[in-house]
Chains A and B, each alone.
Chain A
Amino acid sequence: MFLLKPINHIGQYTLFLGQTLRKPEKWNVFGRNILAEIDKVGVDSLGIVTLISLFVGAVITIQTANNLDNPFIPTYTVGFAARECIILEFSPTIICLVLAGKVGSNISSEIGTMRITEQIDALDIMGVNSAGYLAAPKIIAMIISVPLLVIYSIAIGIYGGYLAGKFTGLVPPDDFIYGIHFSLKPHYIPYSLFKSTIFGFIIASISSYCGYYTKGGALEVGKSSTTAVVISSIVILMFNLVITQLILS
C-alpha cells in the first residue's frame, strides 16, 4: 500500500509531461517565454554559480594539496585532481543541486501561487494549455541554461583552484596549469554536459509538477516548494549514479 502514492505520482507526472509537450498555441509567444525564462533561470543564477564555483574550486585545491604531502607525488597532481573533481562531479552535480534549491523552489512557488489564486484556472478557461504554457518554457530554458552554467562553473572552479594554489603557495601556477592539461580525457566534458542537461530537465519538470498540483493556500505553496527541492535533489542523485555507471564504467 505504501507504494501506491509514489506510483500515483509517477503516473500523474507522466501525464503532466504529456500535457506539457503538446504543441503551443502560439509559437512566437512560446519563443518569447523561453527567452524570458532563460533570463530568469540562467542569467540570474550566474552570481551564485560564480561564487560557489570560485570558493569550492579553491577549497578542493587547498585540501588536495594538504593531503598530498608525499614527496614522490608531483605537485601538478593537485591541478589534475582538482580538474577531475570539478569536471566530473562538482560542476554538473553540486551546481545542479544548488540550482534545484534556487530555481526549483522559485518555479514551484510561482506556479503554485498561480494555482491557488485561480490564474491557472483562468488559463484553462481561455482554452490555453496551462501546463504547456507554464512548464514547457521553463523546461526548455533549463535544458539550454544548465549545461552553459556548468561550462561556466568548470572554468570558474578551475580558476578558483589556480588562484588558491598561487596565493597560498601550495601549488606553483605552472605546476597547476600542467596538472590541468595532464592526461585529459576529452569525453569527460560531453559526459558532464549530458548529465547536467538531464538534471536541468529533472529540476524544471519536477518543480513545475509540484507547483501545478498545489492544493490549498499559502502554506501548501511553501510545502510544494520544499517537496520540489527535496524530490529534485533525490532524483538528481539517483540519476547521477545511473548515468555514471552507464557512461563511465
Chain B
Amino acid sequence: MIEAQGVVKIFGGRTILHGIDATFETGKTNLIIGKSGSGKTVLLKSLVGLYDIDGGDIHYDGRSTISLNRKQKDQLRREVGMLFQGSALFDSKTVEENVRFPLDMFTDMSLEERRERANFCLQRVNIINSNHLYPSEISGGMQKRVAIARAIALNPKYLFCDEPNSGLDPVTASVIDELISEITKEYGITTIMNTHDMNSVFSIGEKIIFISEGNKAWEGSSDTIVDSGCQQLEEFIHTTRNIVKHLK
C-alpha cells in the first residue's frame, strides 16, 4: 500500500500539488485521472521519487520516504517498476538486453538464469522471437509490452504507469490495460496508473482518484464514478462521452 499525506509540489514558485492525501491499495489497479495539466503526472513522479516533494510525506507499506537515506531509497527503488509514456527503452540495447538490464545490475544470477528470466517476462507479455531486435525496430505497442516485461523483471511490489496507452490504437491500448490489470492481480502488486482515457477507467479502474488543478477532487471506484456528485469530474466524463457519441 502506498499512502500520500499532504503532498505538496512547487515548481518555480508555482504550486502544482496542493497537499494531496490519497491511499493506493495493494493488489489493485489504482488510477489517477484528470485533465491535461491537472498535476497527475507530477503526482505520479512525486510518488515514485523522481521529484522531491516540498511538503507532506509518502509511505510505502509504512516506510516514510522522507526519512530514508540514499541507500535505503536505492533499495526501495529496486521494489519499484515503472512504465513510461514513451516506453523509455534503452535505444542501444536489444529487446532481451532491455529486459535483462535490471537483472544484470542487481542480481547475482548467472547469464543463463538471467536470460531465462528475461524470456519468461517477455513471454508473459506475449513477445516472442523478437529478443534480438532493437526498440526502433518494433511497434509502439510492442515497445510498451517490452517496457512492462522490463518493469516486472525484478518482481516489483509497486508498479507505476504514466499514461501507458497514450499514442496507441484503441485495441492495442485495451491489450496494454488488460495486461497491467492481470499482472497486478497475478503478483499482488500495488499498481498506480495515470490516465485520461475513460476506457481504462471503466475497464480496469478499481480505485480512482480524480485530480483537478492540483487538488484531489474525488476518490472512489469505477462503479460509483458516474454518480460521483463532483461537478468537475462529471464535466470531465461527459466531455469524453460527448466525443464518443459524436464519433458514433
- Residues of chain A touching chain B, judged by Cβ–Cβ distance below 8 Å, are 25-26, 29, 113-114, 117-119, 121-122, 124-129
Contacts and interface: CB of A to CB of B under 8 A. Distances in A.
Contacts of B238: none
A121 B88 contact: yes
Given A26-B104, A29-B104, A119-B90, A127 B50 contact: no
B105 A26 contact: yes
A122 B105 contact: no
Contacts of B50: 121, 124-125
B56 interface: no
Nearest to B81: A125
Nearest to A120: B88
A126 B77 contact: yes
A185 B86 CA distance: 58
Contacts of A126: 77-78, 80, 101-102, 105-106
Given A29-B105, A121-B50, A124-B77, 7 more contacts: A26-B105, A118-B84, A119-B89, A119-B90, A125-B50, A125-B160, A127-B77
Given A125-B77, A126-B78, A127-B77, A117 B105 contact: no
A123 to B, nearest CB: 9
Contact of A125 (B82, B90, B105): B82
B40 to A, nearest CB: 16
Given A119-B90, A125-B50, A127-B77, A25 B106 contact: yes
B58 interface: no
Given A26-B104, A26-B105, A127 B88 contact: no
20 contacts: A25-B106, A26-B104, A26-B105, A26-B106, A29-B105, A113-B91, A117-B91, A118-B84, A118-B85, A118-B88, A119-B89, A121-B50, A124-B49, A124-B50, A125-B81, A125-B160, A126-B80, A126-B105, A127-B73, A127-B78
A175 B136 CA distance: 58
Contacts of B82: 121-122, 125
Q: Is the interface of B mostly helix, strand, loop or mixed?
A: mixed
Contacts of B123: none
B110 to A, nearest CB: 12
Interface residues of B, number: 25
Contacts of A117: 86, 88, 91
A118 B48 CA distance: 14
Contacts of B88: 117-119, 121-122
A125 B85 contact: no
Contacts of A26: 104-106
Most buried by B among A25, A125, A129: A125
B26 to A, nearest CB: 19
**Leading 5 A-B pairs by shortest Cβ distance:** A127-B77, A118-B88, A122-B88, A127-B74, A125-B82
B75 interface: yes
Nearest to A36: B92
Nearest to A25: B105
Nearest to A22: B70
Contacts of B77: 124-127
B162 to A, nearest CB: 8
Interface string B92-116: 0000000001101110000000000
A132 to B, nearest CB: 12
A119 B75 contact: no
Contacts of A127: 73-78, 80, 106
A57 B82 CA distance: 54
Contacts of A25: 105-106
A126 B105 CA distance: 9
A121 B151 CA distance: 13
A121 to B, nearest CB: 6
A126 B73 CA distance: 11
A119 B91 CA distance: 9
A26 B106 CA distance: 8
A125 B47 CA distance: 11
Contacts of A114: 90-91
A175 to B, nearest CB: 51
